[in-house]
Amino acid sequence: MAFDDHTYLKDNPFFKDGATFDYLKNFEEFANRPAKMGSDPDYAVNAVLRPVAYVSFRLNYLLDGFRPHWYRLVNVAVHAVNAFLVYALVGVLLGHSSRVQKVQRSSVFFIATAAALLFAAHPLATESVTYIIQRFTSLVVLFSLISLWLYFASFHIQERWGGRFLRGGAVVAALLAMQTKEDAVMVPLLALLLDWLVLGTGLRAALLRALPLLLLLPVVPGLVLMTSSAQHGGHDWHAAMNIVNSRDDPLNHWHYIVTELTVMTHYLRQMFWPKGMNLDPEWPLYKSFWERPVLQAVIVLTGMVLAAWKLFQRHRRDARFALGFACVIWFLLTVFVSSGLVPLPDLVAEHRSYLPSIGIMILVACLLDWLRSSGLHRHALRIGVPVFTLLCVAALSWKTCVRNNVWRTRESLWEDTVAKSPGKYRTWGNLGAAYSDAGKNEKAVHCFREALKVEPRFQNGLLNLSNSLLRLNRPKEALDTTMKLIKMDSTATTKPPVAFTLGLSLAGVGRYDEAVAVFRDILHAMPDDPQAHKALGLVYYQTGLPHRALDHYNAAAQVQPNDPQLERLIEAAKVALANKGRPR
């Protein structure tokens, strides 16, 4: 597991006990619970907006805990089904278009197959598949594609009730998508767009047919507004639009929109030439529409739309060009949700291109088929274009294997990320955490120090540095580092992880009375914390009070009954007690 896999699954205070779904009982209390616990309010936002995804994670957890292979197997299966659904959606669109010039069956098959294979093999999908928590992304695409396929398939069912049944299924699938991730808010608009442009349905008729889906448009904004209102004590659209914006240094919405224009062209470049992929890239924040990179991005995006529109106008009878133009709009609509509509803390994230990339892959497949069936060198192109397409799929597959090799371990992933983004404190911090988990604490200390050079206020970096120093038996340095953190944040000692590290550091330098006071405060707030009981027991044992140590070891064992370390500590305390004799 990596990065947000820990944040939103392993370390999520609501996940393991099923409290993720408590918002159904008391919405307002649940929305504010993380903040009261000193945790990130985004835990509640995620749970409210993405319950379907959390149900799937919960089933994985009940099956095999946090062992990642089953999670990844599900993610791979979802991606494979998504590729098949791309094939099916293209087939139902091109096979039943009412455009005057019918698309030949060979073209329908080629476009559907090429789009599906390019999408399935593309390394840009790695983050959406291999990165466990980004099942949010792959699963929302699954339900979105099911909804669109059912919607368009329903128009070709002869039986009246059969068509209604499929359209009802499309509405249910769209609702599930909207309860998986917010990107699905565009599904009704995509249905309308494809019906109007590709099938050639009149706009009024297309609007009427899409009405059941269009009625779902308020679902996601409504949930966002409800959650924001509960957290901020009143309806405020500005607060709702910034519900997941960086809380320490919030991004200006206009600056975000301007910057995301350059990000969109970055995604396009990666789709056509996937080089330099990066889990956590550095990206400049642009503040003016007139900055050169922004203007270049506008020219590229505008040029793409105009070129697709021009081809559509020139070949208006050909459904392939209608589909190509619609897919350019598909890309812009779906990427706009995360790249403009709502400011997100990270300016760039490869998984955000997963749904938009479907539009580009279908567009490329349409252009390849047009080239394949064009009059010039027709015979050679009929063979050459499919061969070229297969070579592209093979090259993309190889690149995907190489990229997945980087994702093989947390160390290799973050080493790659640090090499590409050395100016981000978060990349150094995550590499340090990976080294720490692997027992490489000297390397971890170096990484945490590098992170703090980039961002001296990085509180988790200070905390993790303290813990690594403790593991290296350097308690004085650990205590000094912890005190820096406490001076920086006067509330730090109220947070159990900081207090726990402070207690260990104090005990390490022989300030046992102060350490005991710290651990007692932790247990006053969390009476069943096994780590605090264990630590306090160790302090008592070191100060010659084995009877008190035994009491706390036993309390910890009630919470963690199969902990072999606790069993050894209990045995040692019993031996010490027998040798000393318990005082009356």
The neighbour count for residue 263, using CB atoms within 10 Å, is 22
Residue 327 has pLDDT above 90, yes or no: yes
Across 281-285, 326-330, 375-379, 424-428, least confident range = 375-379
What pLDDT is stored for residue 2 in this prediction? 54
Amino acid making up residue 333: L
Question: Which region among 59-73, 298-312, 475-489 has the lowest average model confidence (pLDDT)?
Answer: 59-73
- Quickly count: other Cβ atoms within 10 Å of residue 571's Cβ: 11
Percentage of residues in the chain having pLDDT higher than 90? 74
Tell me the pLDDT band of 437, cut-offs 50, 70 and 90.
Answer: very high
State the average pLDDT for the chain: 92
| Domain ranges across the chain | 50-221+250-406, 527-584
**pLDDT tens by residue, 135-176:** 999 999 999 999 999 999 999 887 888 999 999 999 999 999
More confident residue, 548 or 581: 548
Rounded to whole angstroms, how far apart are CA atoms 563 and 149?
A: 51
The predicted pLDDT at position 469 comes to 98
Structure confidence at residue 237 as a pLDDT band (50, 70, 90): confident
- For residue 324, which of 267, 363, 293, 295 has the smallest C-alpha distance? 363
Residue 31 pLDDT: 82
Residue 352 has pLDDT above 90, yes or no: yes
Q: How far apart are CA 74 and CA 80, in angstroms?
A: 10
Out of 78-82, 374-378, 517-521, least confident range? 374-378
CB contact set of 171 (below 8 Å; sequence gap of 6+): 147, 212, 213, 216
Q: Please answer whether residues 494 and 488 qualify as being in contact, where contact means their C-beta atoms are separated by less than 8 angstroms.
A: no
Q: 214 CB contacts (<8 Å, ≥6 apart)?
A: 188, 192, 207
pLDDT at 375: 66
DSSP secondary structure letters along 472-516: TT-HHHHHHHHHHHHHH-TTGGGSHHHHHHHHHHHHHTT-HHHHH
Local confidence band at 243 (pLDDT 50, 70, 90 cut-offs): confident
pLDDT band with cut points at 50, 70 and 90 for residue 101: low
Statement: residue 127 has pLDDT above 50: yes
* 3 state DSSP class of 52: helix
In 3D, which of 243, 250, 197, 203 has the Cα closest to residue 222?
A: 243
User: In this predicted structure, what is the pLDDT of residue 581?
Assistant: 57
In the chain, pLDDT over 70 holds for what percent of residues?
95
Residue 216 is given by DSSP the state T
**pLDDT attached to residue 158:** 79
In the chain, what is the greatest distance between 2 CA atoms, to the nearest angstrom? 102
The number of helix segments (H) and strand segments (E) in the chain equals: 29, 0
- The helix or strand, by DSSP H or E, that contains position 185, with its residue range, turns out to be none
Residue 100's DSSP bridge partners are none
256-260, 267-271, 523-527: least confidently modelled range: 523-527
Phi and psi at residue 40, to the nearest 5°: -70, 125
Q: pLDDT category, 29, cuts 50, 70, 90?
A: confident
The length of the chain, given as a count of residues: 584
Confidence label for 584 from pLDDT (cuts 50, 70 and 90): very low
pLDDT grade, residue 95 (50/70/90)?
confident
pLDDT of 417 > 70? The answer is: yes
For 48-76, the pLDDT digits (tens) are 999 999 999 999 998 888 888 899 999 99
pLDDT of residue 539: 95
pLDDT band at 99 (very low <50, low <70, confident <90, very high): low
Does residue 15 have a pLDDT over 80? no
In three state form, how does the secondary structure of 295-334 look? HHHHHHHHHHHHHHHHHHHHCCCEHHHHHHHHHHHHHHHH
